[in-house]
Structure 1
């Protein structure tokens, strides 16, 4: 899988980095065993953070600062991790989607990284993280239209398909046997990225029965 970060992103925010996991999995409902872990973790986060403190979590703060450097308001277009944590703090919990996305979301809210998972069969190489063009939009998951202008966004030959705020419908993960690319969006370099990737792999193996996982670090 060919993945790179554009010069424009690097010029405006040099600490951009992607941690990428590529693997095959059967996408289905999460097991009761995983949901018990999920629910317990969400409950713990409710008591751990305040609404005011979310923006100061290391990786969320770095993402917000990167958005500002790229010309996007981080308060109007919150990154996915920040949005999920705000939902948790309000007592609204998180939706259960499927085993892959549930693990994705659990990893995100416990680390501060925004994470996107995409169906590789619906993408075409090369893939590049670029600053979205003026006025650019796409159909979001569960949303009609998402304004992605100036967000750090993943593109393939067909166009934009994902970013740290909201992914498009085009490469969304659906039920069945799939080949998946999960992307950890980092805007403070590698820091603890390898440790997070290792934890992510453990959850995929334990709760999604994933066997082989290829790992890439894109700087």
Structure 2
């Protein structure tokens, strides 16, 4: 599949970049080893972060600025990395879903990048990051219809399916064997992506048994 960024998004947010990982994985409940790592990281971030410090993370700051430039309030619609860190600072912790989602969220909260992992078998054709049109909605994971207008949103031939705040149910990661595409949303350039994509890949190998991973940056 070809993955691209629309001219509109690039024009408004010229530092937009996408880090992409493509791989096959057996999605299962997380092992105790992965859960222990997850809980250790959450506990460490609870000590290290404050609400004020979250906003100082450069990747979170860049995402907030992109939302504002595209016409979406970054206060009313927080990006996923920021929202998870706020839960951690407030002592609410994070839900544990499955091995792929745990790795996804671990890298997101430690890096500040919002990251989406999608079932590639539920996607059709090429993918483009677009500015969602006025009035756009989709059914979110664990949520009713979500207002996605003006958010930087991933589209395939079937329509919208993901953005840095909340993904749709259509391509959510469920148990079983799946082709998966993971996408890092960056709005401050590609310079830091390789390091975090490599760490994500290492976690996939160590905790999810994934041995072959394709990586590229858009």
| TM-score, structure 1 normalization | 0.99
Paired position in structure 2 for 1:61? 61
SS in 2 for 1:46: helix
CA–CA distance in 2 between the matches of 1:181 and 1:4? 14
SS in 1 for 2:51: coil
Paired position in structure 1 for 2:38? 38
Superposed counterparts of 1:100-111, under 5 Å: 100-111=100-111
CA–CA distance in 1 between the matches of 2:81 and 2:162? 14
Paired position in structure 1 for 2:28? 28
Paired position in structure 2 for 1:179? 179
State the Cα distance separating 1:8 from its structure 2 match.
Answer: 0.1
Q: What are the superposed Cα offsets for residues 144-196 of structure 1, whole Å, 9 maximum, x if unpaired?
A: 01100000000000000000000000000110000000000000001211011
SS in 2 for 1:37: helix
SS in 2 for 1:116: strand
State the Cα distance separating 1:139 from its structure 2 match.
Answer: 0.2
CA–CA distance in 1 between the matches of 2:55 and 2:140? 24
Paired position in structure 2 for 1:3? 3
The CA RMSD measured in Å over matched residues stands at: 0.5
Paired position in structure 2 for 1:217? 217
CA–CA distance in 2 between the matches of 1:122 and 1:81? 24
Q: Structure 2: give runs of 5+ residues left out of the alignment.
A: none
Q: Which runs of 4+ in 1 moved over 2 A?
A: none
Q: What are the superposed Cα offsets for residues 59-98 of structure 1, whole Å, 9 maximum, x if unpaired?
A: 0000000001100000000000000000000001000000
Q: Structure 1: give runs of 5+ residues left out of the alignment.
A: none
Paired position in structure 2 for 1:203? 203
Superposed counterparts of 1:1-219, under 5 Å: 1-218=1-218
CA–CA distance in 2 between the matches of 1:125 and 1:66? 26
SS in 1 for 2:168: coil
How many correspondences in the alignment?
218
CA–CA distance in 2 between the matches of 1:68 and 1:56? 16
